[in-house]
Structure 1
Amino acid sequence: MKSQFAFLYKTSLFLVALVSLASCRDDFEPERSTGKLEFSRDTLYLDTVFSNIGSSTYTLKVFNRSDAFIRIPQVGLARGENSAYRLNIDGRAGKVFNEVEILPRDSIFIFIETTLDAQNNDQLIYTDQIVFDAEPYTQKVELVTLVQDAEFLFPGRNAQGIKETLQIGIDEAGEPILIEGFVLADDQLRFTNEKPYVIYGYAGIADGKTMIIEAGARLHFHDNSGIIVGNGGRIEANGSLSTDPETLENEIILEGDRLEPEYAAVPGQWGTVWFTPGSTGLLNYVTLKNSNLGILADGNTGNAEADIQLKNTQIYNSALVGLYAVTASIDAENLIVGNSGISNLWIRMGGSYSFTHSTFANYWNQSFRNTPAVQIDNFLETEDALLTSGLTKADFVNCIVYGNRSEELGLRSIEAIPFNFSFSNSLIRFDDRFGEFSALPNYDFTDTAKYQMIKRSEDPDFENTATNGYRIGLNSAARALGNATGAARVPRDISGTERNNNPDAGAYQATNLDN
């Protein structure tokens, strides 16, 4: 018995020592997180929130894939206690949490809710972030909630959590070029004015399908989002003249999803509307603003009628180019393109174009611009080749081409490749102060085959170029400059004012700007 008790006594002492030793080991103390957390999603889209009614509860899973027991010094909402979101982490409710721990190869759940008063909130979209840790280990998950009834359209995910993509080409190695996007289903092809739409990624229009956008519709695009019209696809965006110049209730508006006042005129908030080769479209009373490329028109179907018709359409604040056309076929009337980082209109590798009573005005002041408002080329130079295609026509009738540079018209052509263009009854800013263009035949303003009834570098008397106000005053050099042929084709200006037999050039008839 004595020996047995002695054995038990020694064993107990060993266990006590072992436990004591274990409690002192560093690997049972949590290590500081180093910003390598993983999340079940990078952006959490909450359903539409109605006034004073709480949302459903949404779940975010946070993974610790490492073998270490980690602690996150702080997890919380970027807006802090002022946020309209509420969090619950492992049974604790609040908006900011300190010392959140996750076991090795384990995860935690974060539950998110919100309640918003739509009537007292002037934002269409309410956003915040769940912020994990501080710099240099900060990680964030975006939270997005619609304050009023609206519709989200965004790419789905496969079983591995990878977002849906669209193939837009093949690289030099023969690999597909992919962008984040999705193909619109048949029941997603009609956009009404009943509620706004918010689009994440590129919405694709398939072969044989038509996107219908009704008058008064509002489409909002997230960063790197837009519309791609596939080969055989079509857009019909048919707005109408509005009675209220403030709300533009009948006009179709495409813009970014940041609607705070400070974002009202910020370029580059979303991607583009891309017409790929073989696609067609009609845009009437449509405004596109604050994108990278307003419209990208790529390719020609060869139809007798223009592939893309732009009527009473306005494109503003494009970070790069307002209307970028590569071997395209476009017919435009009462078109306004204003303030672009490169050019308002850039035609490359020829094509076929007609612009009647259109205004191209570039007073970009957010960076240095050394490119003209309108640039026309019958070539496209890449790193490996010089690509050429004939310019069948580029006719400008009763137009204004103006801006804050001395020369706002650029014409570059490769000899022996067709380069047919003409300007008639138009106001163009082109000073040629140093005579560097005088010997170039494309700039021979006495050549009546190219230029008829042109005024150069006379004041258009725009209303307010800083805010894209391109109405012209009674002292405008464009007044009574237009011809009757253009007026007969487009009998009313973009504001609905009737034109006479001595119309003004540009998209607007002159008016008293003091009223």
Structure 2
Amino acid sequence: MKKYLYTFLILAITILWSSCRKDFVTVPSSGQLQFSKDTVYLDTVFTNIGSSTYNLKVYNRSDDDIRIPTIQLGEGESSNYRLNVDGIAGKVFQDVELLANDSMFIFVETTLDINDFAGGNQFLYTDAIEFDTGNNQQKVELVTLVQDAVFLYPQQFDDGTVETLLLGVDDEGNETRIEGFFLEDSELTWTNEKPYVVYGYAAVGQNDVLTVEAGARVHFHADSGLIIGNMGSLQVNGVLSTTEDLEGEVIFEGDRLEPGFANVPGQWGTIWLTDGSTNNNINYATIKNASVGILTENSDGTTNPTLTLNNSKIYNSATIGLLARTGHIEANNSVIGSAGQASLYLNLGGEYTFRHCTFANYWTNSFRVAPTVLIDNFLEVGDGTVFTADLEQADFSNCIIDGSNSIELILQKVENDSSVLLNYNFRNCLIKFDDFNNRFLNDELYAFNNSAIFDEIELVINSNTIDYKDTANNEFFIGADSAAIGEGNTSNIPAVQSDLLGNPRTNPSDVGAYNFTTFDD
């Protein structure tokens, strides 16, 4: 028995000792490494802002444990790239071991200063990761576009605190503040010469006007956005583009430029048109990947709309695309696409006109309860208090209301108070409304046979009948089989003479923001 126990102990110690050995025999690399990619594109970065971390996988497909004599950046220690090879940071590495039929990760980052390069607002910076030297050398190229930008951010004080904006005071006298700053006079015109990168909330003060010129690109950092204050105004002067570069359009989005972030919702806050802001006009703009695309509150006390929205797109909003509380909006030829809750929420009454707009919510990031369009005349707060306001007007003409849910229009009014108005009209609209369980059969708010409220509308049961190009990418062009073709009427809205792409409207017109077009399946 002791003999067997002794033998077992010797065997166990030998196995344990062998598994902990680090001095396994290796042979030099022979230049037969394989890589997950030949070129690592770090995409576009703003000057002096660190890139995301990219990875390269290196494979040893041979049956030998190998030793790579050197792994280094081509420019060595002077390179603007940074490497992490199997958990060790640096730019030059010696005698890196890689087991047979195994692999390792190399992580790559960079931070670049446009001032280090000659000429222009952008520069293509390249280097390479070199494996070994001489005849056995292999390379993986590194490519980054560094772009200059105008950076706007709150002041940082000597005590480490950051400038904030006062949003209000609660019932107990406590201030509500948000990290942000007021734009100076010299910062109130945003051009297309360089992109703008905003940290915190940039605020437009009383009697100030922020003008955003055609072709401007505005990038917001996380938890950042734009606030238009009392008696302030926003003028977004985008124009129709003639190429896929959207050279005339104004784009508001996050500051992560990698392709993987191109359609990630909730990267920044919102464009907030506060109570008292006035004469806000947005033309040919795309507002994407925000938490709330646009938030507008109350009217400015005049007969003019607080917000006029023309030929614009809002999509990939984490919660709501366009949220209006007792707002006054006029919108034409605009698309409000996917959002985590509602694409359009007209809350607590207001006055609204929408002509030739497409509201389509095909959100796929989580389960969505809210409809594409939600309209009400009340607001209930946490303590049970209910605020009410008249919905004086909500007119929809030649619009599409659609999405992935069975019912995409919900109308709600305050209970037990018929004196609070809920006025709405839908003319020549396609509305996704599949009430398969007759939930709304006897609800007076959905009297679809009442032509005074619902005139020439079509209730859509199957969204495929609208025939979009690509709902996953918020491309709501309508195709040859669309039920929206020829169902509009432009005689009562002569101001909308062309669609979002500049194509002339006919009468009868196509419903929604786009005329029918042909596109590849």
Match of 1:278 in 2: 276
Please give the secondary structure, in 2, of the residue aligned with 1:340: coil
Match of 1:444 in 2: 447
Please give the secondary structure, in 2, of the residue aligned with 1:318: coil
Instruction: Return closer, same or farther for 1:464/1:114 CA change in 2, 3 Å cut-off.
Output: closer
For the residues of structure 2 that align with 1:243 and 1:359, how far apart are their CA atoms?
22
Match of 1:419 in 2: 422
Please give the secondary structure, in 1, of the residue aligned with 2:343: strand
List aligned pairs for 1:152-171, cutoff 5 A: 152-171=151-170
CA RMSD of superposed structures (Å): 2.6
Q: CA contact under 8 A between 2:490 and 2:496: conserved in structure 1?
A: no
Match of 2:471 in 1: 465
Instruction: Return closer, same or farther for 1:445/1:113 CA change in 2, 3 Å cut-off.
Output: closer
The reply on whether 1:507 has 2:509 as its aligned counterpart is no
Shift of 1:121: 5.2
Instruction: Return closer, same or farther for 1:464/1:392 CA change in 2, 3 Å cut-off.
Output: same
List aligned pairs for 1:300-319, cutoff 5 A: 300-319=299-318
Shift of 1:95: 7.2
Match of 1:293 in 2: 292
For the residues of structure 2 that align with 1:402 and 1:454, how far apart are their CA atoms?
13
Q: CA contact under 8 A between 1:398 and 1:486: conserved in structure 2?
A: no
Q: Which of residues 238, 257, 260 is equivalent to 2:258?
A: 260
Q: Which amino acid in structure 2 is aligned with residue 218 of structure 1?
A: R
Q: Which of residues 117, 121, 124 is equivalent to 1:120?
A: 124
What percentage of residue pairs aligned between the two structures are identical? 46
The reply on whether 1:434 has 2:437 as its aligned counterpart is yes
Deviation string 1:27-64 (CA, Å, 9 cap, x unpaired) is: xxxxxxxxxxxxxxxxxxx99469xxxxxxxxxxxxxx
List aligned pairs for 1:324-403, cutoff 5 A: 324-384=323-383, 385-403=385-403
Match of 1:205 in 2: 204
For the residues of structure 2 that align with 1:369 and 1:444, how far apart are their CA atoms?
26
Please give the secondary structure, in 2, of the residue aligned with 1:485: coil
Instruction: Return closer, same or farther for 1:429/1:47 CA change in 2, 3 Å cut-off.
Output: closer
For the residues of structure 1 that align with 2:512 and 2:112, how far apart are their CA atoms?
49
Shift of 1:158: 2.0
Q: Which amino acid in structure 1 is aligned with residue 423 of structure 2?
A: N
Match of 1:192 in 2: 191
Q: Which of residues 490, 500, 504 is equivalent to 1:484?
A: 490
Shift of 1:429: 0.3
The reply on whether 1:454 has 2:457 as its aligned counterpart is yes
Match of 1:405 in 2: 405
Match of 2:63 in 1: none
Shift of 1:260: 0.1
Q: Which amino acid in structure 2 is aligned with residue 449 of structure 1?
A: A
Shift of 1:380: 0.6
Please give the secondary structure, in 2, of the residue aligned with 1:332: strand
Deviation string 1:55-99 (CA, Å, 9 cap, x unpaired) is: xxxxxxxxxxxxxxxxxxxxxxxxx99983689xxxxx9779xxx
Instruction: Return closer, same or farther for 1:259/1:486 CA change in 2, 3 Å cut-off.
Output: farther
Match of 1:175 in 2: 174
Q: CA contact under 8 A between 2:401 and 2:430: conserved in structure 1?
A: yes
For the residues of structure 2 that align with 1:159 and 1:274, how far apart are their CA atoms?
30
For the residues of structure 1 that align with 2:113 and 2:288, how far apart are their CA atoms?
31
For the residues of structure 1 that align with 2:112 and 2:91, how far apart are their CA atoms?
11
Shift of 1:115: 5.6
Q: Which amino acid in structure 2 is aligned with residue 503 of structure 1?
A: S
Match of 1:22 in 2: none
Shift of 1:159: 2.6
Instruction: Return closer, same or farther for 1:391/1:178 CA change in 2, 3 Å cut-off.
Output: same
Please give the secondary structure, in 2, of the residue aligned with 1:466: helix
Q: Which amino acid in structure 2 is aligned with residue 446 of structure 1?
A: N
Q: CA contact under 8 A between 2:357 and 2:398: conserved in structure 1?
A: yes
For the residues of structure 1 that align with 2:458 and 2:46, how far apart are their CA atoms?
55
Match of 2:80 in 1: 84
Please give the secondary structure, in 1, of the residue aligned with 2:491: helix
Match of 1:269 in 2: 267
Instruction: Return closer, same or farther for 1:167/1:283 CA change in 2, 3 Å cut-off.
Output: same
Q: Which of residues 245, 248, 251 is equivalent to 1:250?
A: 248
For the residues of structure 2 that align with 1:512 and 1:47, how far apart are their CA atoms?
38
For the residues of structure 2 that align with 1:473 and 1:154, how far apart are their CA atoms?
44
Deviation string 1:244-267 (CA, Å, 9 cap, x unpaired) is: 12x100000000000100000000
The reply on whether 1:239 has 2:238 as its aligned counterpart is yes
Please give the secondary structure, in 2, of the residue aligned with 1:484: coil
Shift of 1:448: 1.3
With normalisation by structure 1, the TM-score equals 0.74
Q: Which amino acid in structure 2 is aligned with residue 290 of structure 1?
A: N
Shift of 1:355: 0.1
For the residues of structure 1 that align with 2:249 and 2:315, how far apart are their CA atoms?
15
Deviation string 1:447-488 (CA, Å, 9 cap, x unpaired) is: 112100001115111110000010001211111111123552
The reply on whether 1:493 has 2:499 as its aligned counterpart is yes
Instruction: Return closer, same or farther for 1:424/1:397 CA change in 2, 3 Å cut-off.
Output: same
Deviation string 1:216-249 (CA, Å, 9 cap, x unpaired) is: 000000000000000100000010000112x100
For the residues of structure 2 that align with 1:47 and 1:258, how far apart are their CA atoms?
9
Shift of 1:383: 1.3
For the residues of structure 1 that align with 2:186 and 2:479, how far apart are their CA atoms?
46
Q: CA contact under 8 A between 1:184 and 1:206: conserved in structure 2?
A: yes
For the residues of structure 1 that align with 2:170 and 2:437, how far apart are their CA atoms?
43
For the residues of structure 2 that align with 1:320 and 1:47, how far apart are their CA atoms?
28
Q: Which amino acid in structure 2 is aligned with residue 181 of structure 1?
A: G
Q: Which ranges of structure 1 fall in alignment gaps of 5 or more residues?
A: 1-45, 51-79, 88-92, 97-111, 123-144
For the residues of structure 2 that align with 1:492 and 1:309, how far apart are their CA atoms?
17
With normalisation by structure 2, the TM-score equals 0.73
Shift of 1:168: 1.0
Q: Which amino acid in structure 1 is aligned with residue 352 of structure 2?
A: Y
